[in-house]
Structure 1
Amino acid sequence: MPQVWQACDYWRALGKTVVADLDDDYPRLTPQNPAHPFWVLDVNNMKAQSGLTPVRALEEGLRHVDALLSPSKEILADWADVVPGYWLPNYADGDWYEGIAQKPVPEDGEQITIGWGGSVSH
């Protein structure tokens, strides 16, 4: 982690704006989430190696950036005492689809496939 923090500091020293992006609520991941063992249980013994749990390391990392982007106002509120946050929704705006020809309504019983590029955690 220190190398990442140093890189952030380097770019900031050159006058660049460094922004972090979070869309997962790492401190509150539930046991059903595959990332829970890493973030909450610290299965990699990060604290023993660096003195910081994964969540505390994330917090320290956020101290090395200028801003936090998130589609979640709750995540931004959680980190507001660490870094300024900016809400950036990650959903499609209906205006983007204005003027696009609509597909025919599916027949009864016809399969509909909805694509999704997320992970099991969101």
Structure 2
Amino acid sequence: MNISDIIEKIKYKENLKFEKEIANLFNISPSDYSNRKQRSDSLIHLIVKWGIEKNVDLNWLIKGGREKEPRTAQKNTEGIEKRDTLTEAIIAIEEWLAESGTKITPEEKAHLIKKLVEKLKC
């Protein structure tokens, strides 16, 4: 899955039509967004951060699959679904990074994982 496909899913999820709306969603200027999109590696952090904040299935967002996002499973008190969701999200991110040749620093990766864990604690 390429960055354009991921952006199209975000547009679908947020009911957006224009690239400048995506820039606003990520709190960056349209020109900054355009530059980052050409270098896709600098957008992944913003995409994952948005997905975490919006409770989006990152596996669906990054790896592809169904056109519409699958329904989120109800989380039980033992946290099994939370752990499975975190595992799937990390695997999806790792696979996308490998397939796209995108490089992020270990600190950025750790930050994304930390955000996922914090989100799942809610």
Normalised-by-shorter TM-score class: under 0.3
Q: Tell me which protein shows more strand as a share of its residues.
A: 1
Task: Using structure 1 for the length normalisation, give the TM-score.
Answer: 0.26
Provide TM-score, normalisation by structure 2: 0.26
